[in-house]
Structure formats: C-alpha cells, structure tokens
Amino acid sequence: MELTLKSLHDDRDAFLAAGYHLPEFDYDTVHKNTVEHPHWIHFGAGNIFRAFQANVAQNLLNSGVLDTGLIAAEGYDYEIIEKSYRPHDNLSILATLKADNTVEKTIVGSIMESLILDSKNEAEYARLREIFKNPSLQMASFTITEKGYATANAKGEFFPAVAADFEKGPEAPESYLGKVVSLLYTRYTHGALPIAMVSMDNCSHNGDKLYAAVNAFAKAWTDNGLVEAGFLGYVNDQTKVTFPWSMIDKITPRPDAKVEAMLAEDHIGGLDAVVTSKNTYIAPFVNAEECEYLVIEDAFPNGKPALDKGGIIFTDRATVDKVEKMKVCTCLNPLHTALAIYGCLLGYTLISEEMKNPLLKNMVEVIGYKEGLPVVVNPGILDPKKFIDEVVNVRIPNPFLPDSPQRIATDTSQKLSIRFGETIKAYEASPDLHTEDLKLIPLVYAGWLRYLMGIDDEGREFTPSSDPLLEEARQYVADYELSFSPKDLSKLDALLANEKIFGVNLHAIGMDTLVKQYFAELSSGVGAVAAALKKYVPEKVTL
Ligand SMILES: NC(=O)C1=CN([C@@H]2O[C@H](COP(=O)(O)OP(=O)(O)OC[C@H]3O[C@@H](n4cnc5c(N)ncnc54)[C@H](O)[C@@H]3O)[C@@H](O)[C@H]2O)C=CC1
Ligand SMILES: O=P(O)(O)OC[C@H]1O[C@](O)(CO)[C@@H](O)[C@@H]1O
C-alpha cells in the first residue's frame, strides 16, 4: 500500500483490514468545491495542523457538515510541502495515541491543495492571490510558531527581509508576513472583501501578535505610498478584517520512530520521517494525543465554517483569555515546564516516565492544584479542576505519547514568566493569599538555574535545549560547580531581578532568598537534586 489517492482507491479493503479510518466523503466533489469556493486556508503546514485542524475538517466532511476542504500554505519551510505533502497527494496518517494503549489510525484527506507561499514561485503565488480574491474565503489561520510573527529583533530593529519589504511594497515580498499581507492587499483591491485572520499558535493573545505584524506592513506600505490609501483602514476595520484570539491545546510530539515502525508493519511504503534543512521534524504521518481543545474568539466578518459541530468552541474574547490563562498559567504548561527542567536534570527522556516518579508527580500536583488553582478565574466553558485532573491523570502520564522533557525545555527562558509569573502576581495582588506560601514554584526557578549549569544530577554534562537566552543566562551560573562548599550566591542577583524572565522581580518581592537557598542545595553535589525533591515535595498530596 502507498499513501496516495490511487492506493486509497485501489487498496481500500487492505487499508480497512489494517484498521485505518478512511475519508468518507466524495473526494472529487469536495476538491472541486474547494478550488472554486475556498472557505479556509491555513498557513504553517506543520504537525499540529495535520493532527488537529485537518482532522476536524475531515470529520465534518465525513458527516456532510462541510462541503469544502482545507488549503495548506507553507511560506517558511517549502520542503514540508515538497517532501511530505505532494508525494502523498496531501494525505497524511494521523496516529492517535490513546492513554488506554490503543492507537487509532486515520488517513486524513481533507487537505485539497498544498501551496508554496513564495513570491518567486509565480504559478503558486498566482493561485494564492486567486484564493484571496474569492468572496467565499472566510478564514486564514496560522500555526507558524510564536517567532513567526516577529518583525524585529530584541533590540527593536526590523529584520532585513521585513525592512526591505517595507520599502518594496506588496508586489514580490520576501518576508513571511510580507507575503501574507500582500495576499490580504489583493483581497482589498478586489472588493475589500471581509476575512478573519486567525492565529492558532500557542502564545498569549495570539491574535494581537498577528494584527501587530499585519498592521506594521499596512502602515509602512501606506507611509511609503506603495498601496492604495484605504488599505490601512481596511486592516483596521473590524467589519472587514479581524484577528481573533484563540487557545489551542493538543500535545503533538514530533513524528516518532516507534510509531513509524508500527505503521511500517501495515506495509505502507514511503513513510520515512525527515528533518528538513530548516529543522522541521516532518513525516507523512503525525502522532498526537487524543485530547484536544481549540477555543476561538467569535469574530468572523465573512461568516465561519461550522467548526463548532466538530468540537471547536467559539466564544467571546474575555473567555478565550481566561481559558488561555487557565491552561498556560496553571493547569498544563507550568506542570510541563517543571517536568521539563527536573526531567533533564534527572536523566529522563519521556514525560510519561517522570509521572511514575511519585515525587515528580506530587511536585506538579502541588504546583497545579495547591499553588496555581486558587488564583485561576473559571472561564465557565471549561472547568479548571476537571481540566487539570485530565492533564495530571490522563494526558501527561500517557505512556504511549512520545513526548520528552528535552522538547518542552526548549525556550524555557521565554516561558517562565507566563507560566509561573502570573500566579505570583496574583498572590501579590491578593489580600488573602501570601506569596511566601509558594514553595514549589521557587523550586522550579531554582531548578532552572541548576539546569543552566548543564550538569545532571549524576554529575554528567548534558546539552540544554535551544533557547534564545541560553548563553546569556548561563553566564550567571558559570562560576558554580557541584560542591558542598558554601557559595557566594550574589552572582545570581541580577538574573533573579529580571522581570522579563520571571514575570516579576524576584528580589523585589523577596522570593530570591528562597530560590537561592534551593539552588545552593540543588547544586551541593551529585544526587542533590533528588535529595532536594525528597526534602521539599510532600510525600502525600491531599487534593
Ligand atoms: N505541537 C504541539 O503540541 C502544539 C503546537 N501548537 C502551536 O503550533 C506551532 C507549530 O507546531 P507544530 O506544527 O507542531 O510544529 P512543526 O515544527 O511541525 O511546524 C512548524 C511550522 O511553523 C513554521 N515555521 C517555523 N518557523 C517559522 C518562522 N520563523 N516563520 C514562519 N513560519 C515558521 C514551519 O514552517 C511549520 O509550518 C507551535 O509553535 C505552537 O504555537 C499548539 C498546540 C500544540
Ligand atoms: O512547552 P511548549 O513548547 O509550549 O509545548 C507544550 C506542549 O503542550 C501544549 O501546550 C499542549 O497543547 C503544546 O503546545 C505542546 O505540545
């Protein structure tokens, strides 16, 4: 068998016998409808898109709720399309790795076109313009990673490609967002048609990030006389163009060798995973957990596909904000980051294995239930207690999900502030709660300092995961080594006072003393990390 439309047709019985769910809609009709009346284009053809959005669309096509499929556009890593989409007629295999050790295998065929977003690729760029001219288009969505929305570096200087595009205008831009905004300009010049531009990336207030980038281009092109006068107004007219906020949640690890081997047993050829030259881990299959949440602000000026029938929740902005805070600041991501740091220190390579260690499990339970939950505002549409129960008892201990502390430890310096700082701020602001009662959040901070030393609890060197502030942050711990001798910890002061990293100035609120005390213990010798966990994490957590 092959992962192609022809093989799906010719070998249908063999696929079914091997346990695959197959697309159940009339492919040719949906393809024709999509080409003629596209409703939904997605930018960022990576793993989450195929595991989540494309599968939701397929379910809705199967049940007849939708009659058009998806168009995938890739403007950063063209190899994804060349190596993983086109050889397989845009089909992919979704391996849903359930906590009960069953794997659901689905051939996802809802992506009707895959296009390279490159202004030098005339044919495909023309097709993208055609799509943006079409009145039927309701939504352009994005999963391009948080850094994909940046137009400038940390010093505020525009990236060279962005600066060049500001000068050149919408004809043939080179930067990612420049290309997207030039398509939006095409939509403007063809009737100022309405559209929702929906970021589905895992970052706080994601719609604002997309808006800021789009608006920067619209403004620069207007100031430089490169676009019609009304374009900037169009981008800022919410009856025309919106930038809804969203919260997305589905743990989708990189394509895993064990899953590849399992699929190979079904005798489907050509499923090899590749790492592209731009470092995307991609394969014709994706592996993900079963659980998924996508909550989107209901601001769609051209109407929206009936995705609510596929489990996607539409609500108001304030609710999206609360849901996102619940997940990112308390119920999922802080627990992940705590496990990432201590997992790397203790030599784990699977998050699920860490959850078998009672101390690590108790650590995340205290951080989530005891320290975080008291300050969570219930968003109403999802219950925080139930959400965290599912995270702690089902999702992160799922032994079949090949997720690693090393993957989650990527960019920790960028994550600490939102994942823990918001809770600290809420304690500081509360008349009833006391920041000094927070005992394990400081242990995570201290763990991160210990992690920056790049030496695990056995005394072996390890390579910390990539992080834009890694080298800078490592300077602060460069003088420390594993030893029981007393340390001058003042070298940590400037780091601990860095509000950007921790969300609060830990010195100003007095938490730095505890973090330093913990750090001294964690770095006091081989085995000190395990010893500190034993000392500070309760043996029993009563929920
Ligand atoms: N994988 C996961 O568990 C989840 C991911 N997400 C969000 O989706 C994003 C992408 O995740 P995956 O698709 O799993 O990753 P991936 O590595 O499979 O794909 C990354 C995608 O982003 C694009 N990209 C990377 N750097 C870029 C840049 N500088 N400019 C523009 N595009 C760029 C790539 O070309 C590719 O389309 C994440 O960063 C996160 O925000 C959200 C929830 C879960
Ligand atoms: O720590 P990161 O890199 O944001 O990844 C966290 C993981 O958890 C999630 O937030 C779950 O949705 C995903 O984005 C990702 O798989």
Domain range 5-315, its CATH number among 3.20.20.370, 3.40.50.720, 3.90.180.10, 3.40.50.970? 3.40.50.720
* CA–CA distance, 105 with 110 (Å, rounded to integer): 15
282 close to 46: Cβ distance less than 8 angstroms: yes
Instruction: Provide the residue ranges of all domains of the chain, joining segments of one domain with +.
Output: 5-315, 318-536
Atom of ligand 1 nearest to the CA of 250: 44
Which residue has a Cα nearest atom 16 of ligand 1? 46
Atom of ligand 2 nearest to the CA of 403: 16
DSSP state, residue 525: S
3-class SS of residue 465: coil
Q: What is the pLDDT of residue 484?
A: 73
What is 318-536's CATH number? 1.10.1040.10
* CA–CA distance, 175 with 75 (Å, rounded to integer): 9
* CA–CA distance, 528 with 346 (Å, rounded to integer): 10
Which residue has a Cα nearest atom 7 of ligand 2? 251
Atom of ligand 2 nearest to the CA of 337: 1
Atom of ligand 1 nearest to the CA of 203: 41
Which residue has a Cα nearest atom 8 of ligand 2? 251
Q: Is 48 in the pocket of ligand 1 (CB under 6 A)?
A: yes
Tens-of-pLDDT digits for all 543 residues of the chain?
999 999 999 999 999 999 999 999 999 999 999 999 999 999 999 999 999 999 999 999 999 999 999 999 999 999 999 999 999 999 999 999 998 889 999 999 999 999 999 999 999 999 999 999 999 999 999 999 888 999 998 678 999 999 999 999 999 999 999 999 999 999 999 999 999 999 999 888 999 999 999 999 999 999 999 999 999 999 999 999 999 999 999 999 999 999 999 999 999 989 999 999 998 999 999 999 999 999 999 999 999 999 999 999 999 999 999 999 999 999 999 999 999 999 999 999 999 999 999 999 999 999 999 999 999 999 999 999 999 999 999 999 999 899 999 999 999 998 999 999 999 999 999 999 999 999 999 999 999 999 999 999 999 999 999 998 999 999 999 999 998 777 899 999 999 999 999 999 999 999 999 999 999 999 999 999 999 999 999 999 998
* Beta pairing, strands 293-297 & 285-288: unpaired
Q: Is 435 in the pocket of ligand 2 (CB under 6 A)?
A: no
Shortest CA distance to 198 belongs to which of 187, 214, 221, 186?
A: 214
Specify the DSSP element, H or E, that contains 473.
helix 470-475
**The token pair that represents 431 in the structure block:** 């008349």
Give Cα separations from 424 to 195, 429, 481, 537 (angstroms): 39, 9, 29, 19
Which residue has a Cα nearest atom 15 of ligand 2? 251
What pTM, to 2 d.p., does this model score? Answer: 0.91
Q: Is 516 in the pocket of ligand 2 (CB under 6 A)?
A: no
Q: Is 122 left (phi over 0), alpha (psi -120 to 50) or beta?
A: alpha
Shortest CA distance to 249 belongs to which of 358, 395, 136, 120?
A: 395
Q: How far is the CA of 202 from the centre of ligand 2 (A)?
A: 7
Which residue has a Cα nearest atom 28 of ligand 1? 148
Q: Is 178 in the pocket of ligand 1 (CB under 6 A)?
A: no
Give the residue, out of 92, 144, 324, with the most ligand 1 atoms within 8 A of its beta carbon, to mutate for a pocket test. 144
346 close to 456: Cβ distance less than 8 angstroms: yes
Instruction: Measure CA 313 to chain center.
Output: 18
Q: How far is the CA of 14 from the centre of ligand 1 (A)?
A: 33
Specify the DSSP element, H or E, that contains 470.
helix 470-475
